[in-house]
Structure 1
Amino acid sequence: MSDAYNSSWFAEKLTDRSIRGIALETSALIRAGALPVGAKLPPIRDLAFSLGVSPATISEAWSELRRQKIITGRGRNGTWVSGDSFVAKPERLASVGHYGAGVLDLTMAVPDRALLPALGNALVHAVSTEKLNSYERSRILPELEADVRRTWPYEAEAFLATNGGYNAVYTLIHALVPPGAAVAIEEPTGMRLLDILEDHGARIVPVVCDSDGPLPASLRQAMLSKPVAFIFQPRLHSVTGQTVATRRMAELAEELRDTDVLIIEDDGLADISDAPRQSLGRVFPDRVIHILSYSKTLGPDLRLAVLSSTRLIIEQIQSYRSFSSGWTSRILQGAAAWLLRDETTAEGLKEARRLYQARRDNLVRALAERDVIVPSGGGLCAWVPVASEPFALVTLAARGIAVHPGKKFAVQPTHHLRVATSNLTDRYEEVANAIALAASGG
């Protein structure tokens, strides 16, 4: 089969000799069935010669098709057509399982719905929002901006409402980061952040963390890769439950001072944490993008986050958004503004924060009694060390408990489990017993 699809065959079929053109026309041949699944592609140098382009051009085109899961393989064994269609999907998120009624699902570090505020009065207020149902592509509702500014961690020049925290990251990455560019990101990190970067084709440069946050030496090493951006969580870490120490923020600022790296701060848990809000925007207001999501505190169906930066950067992000929705629902923005001013909501959040902390502490304490040590922290989950992730997952599954392996939250090898605690209201001893057995590695 492979002899029929040599470099001469390709030279007759491909008319656009650019990287993008070669990738698009080759994928079209595959989807049309002219180049079937299983066909071996010609060597890069042979094809480059026949097309009159450089080997680097073919290599880049093949990299794009490889990223789309259309072709596979490389090196001496050759490259093969592995699929005739491509549906973009977040690989890490998509691998989350669906569990039966008898399984204790501790994979989802999501808010307890019973602890979220009621939305009725907020939505009644929201229907009287200024310019409701206008097609004007407004960046943020004035009343929401006013409420947000009161507690924002630095004096930001401009604000933008988005459809949730990950939507904010997805949009700004596509607006500001060229495909293939290097992006430094703390490790571990949110699996959906990695999905976004991998789908965009970014070169992910991990920055190792300790209990105080990203390590300055690791960030310094990452800067050698000339990243376009550095992404980290400046407040409560969504995976480890740690908070970046004030002195560590200052040390990170020193590492970033003589660079032009875009600094993306993702505060995804917001006031689930009782730690003060902090931002490098105080030092680098010209290149910080600070994101605050309200999904965990006010409710995921509000689909709301707010980001800040310079007017120029906000304009660039908004310009990209104009290809799709163009603005975030004024009804949802108005509802969030009402909730941010509501004393009952504030009291409810205080109680939710106490309960989330107690649930995490109860599991961490039970694990410590079994010699499994998880650092103190907060948030909606625990980052549990294990000898072997595969063994731990199988052991827990046999006992009807589902958790995430650490590898979903990192690009380097890990030896951890991410255990959600936000909805773990009881059964601490049972879970701790199972984890202690799983953590041993057999």
Structure 2
Amino acid sequence: MSDTRPSPLRSTGVQVSLGLVAGLTLGLLLSRESAPTTFLSGLLATLDVVGTAWINAVRMTVIPLVVPLLIVGVAGGDDLKSTGAVGAKAFGWMLLLLVACALFSATVSSLWFESLVLDPAATTRLRESARIDVPTADALSVRTFLLSLIPLNPIKAAADGTLLPVVLFTLLYAFALGRVGEAPRAAQLTFFRGMSDTMLVVVRWILALGGIGIFALATVLGQKLGTNVLGAIGFYFMVNIALHLVATAGIYVIIAVTRRVPWRDFARAMVPASVVGMGTRSSLASLPAMVKGATDVLRLPPTATGFVLPLCASVFKLTSAIYWVVGALFIAKLYGIDLSTANLALVAASSVVLNFSTPGIPSGGMLLQVPLYSSIGLPVEGIGILIALDTLPDMFKTLLNVTSDMFVAVMTTPREQLKDSRAEVSSRRV
């Protein structure tokens, strides 16, 4: 009997992983050219267009996928109260992860930074490169954030790509749909189920080209990064990346210990989303891949794939509990400021409390720290340095974010449903 197993090279996860490694390798090699030739410049420009076109295609699917998934996940359930309970449980897991990561980061990174001795010439050059356009206080205020959650025009909010207001409006619509008569409710659910199924087919088509898209993005990224990551910058990169990798590995350990799903299946479901996230540096862009992995591999119920995952991608950024602390310690060292234990604790606590209030402006997560830096005596210009150095660490920050999103979706799914899903998969294999 012949072996009919498909080649591993046909796996989306393998293809995007190979694309990422090959692209970064080629980009680092090209970065050695001090004066790129016309051909090389044209090649990089072409790859930039290819990569950008692919990521635009991925982003194109987010809103049309999230909206029907949320509506079906909420209104399609038998009990709206149970859906609300799942949401509360999801926020509980988010808060628990944030507190654990903040304590871990504050403890480990503070000890690690004690060994950092900086070259005065290098720190001077870094400080001179600090550039930051500080937004108005109103743009970062709680009032502005709260008002932004209620869009004047939900269609415009969707067109602008501001996902959180769209998600909140869709949830309101979905809970209202659960209160209407059976006939109109069933008709709309049929439509939105068809829409979500169709969009998942579109996502599979786009992800099938992921190897090419990620290769193009990674090549351009590697060429821009180069190999000049030594000294103070190298130390900052090392601490930031190492802590994110440890936190990501910790999530896999919890999955293995709790045995809610086989950790191999969890890893297999995460590969495409992880690589897409690292290549694009956007957890939002990796949401379609997360939904695909949760649906096809883990067989999570609609409440998890259509409610919890979009909710997490919209409001949950576990990475802030790490990079806020690391960034504050780095800037304190860079400017020769002694950051007290009380101030470090304030940074860690703020990373948890303000996690769900990131403003919808470029680098909003970092700019949110402007008032915090002012209150603890750190120069606001230091945030400009962190933004400039964020390209490489942001790949690993996104990796942690997408892993934690899938983790919350798994942990909020009742064990009985997980067992039923695994039994279904096993019967199909037999």
Same fold judged by TM-score > 0.5? no
More helix as a share of residues: 2
Larger Rg: 1
For this structure pair, what is the TM-score category when the shorter chain's length is used for normalisation?
under 0.3
TM-score, scaled relative to structure 2: 0.23
More strand as a share of residues: 1
TM-score, scaled relative to structure 1: 0.23
Higher relative CO (Cα under 8 Å, sequence separation at least 6) belongs to 2
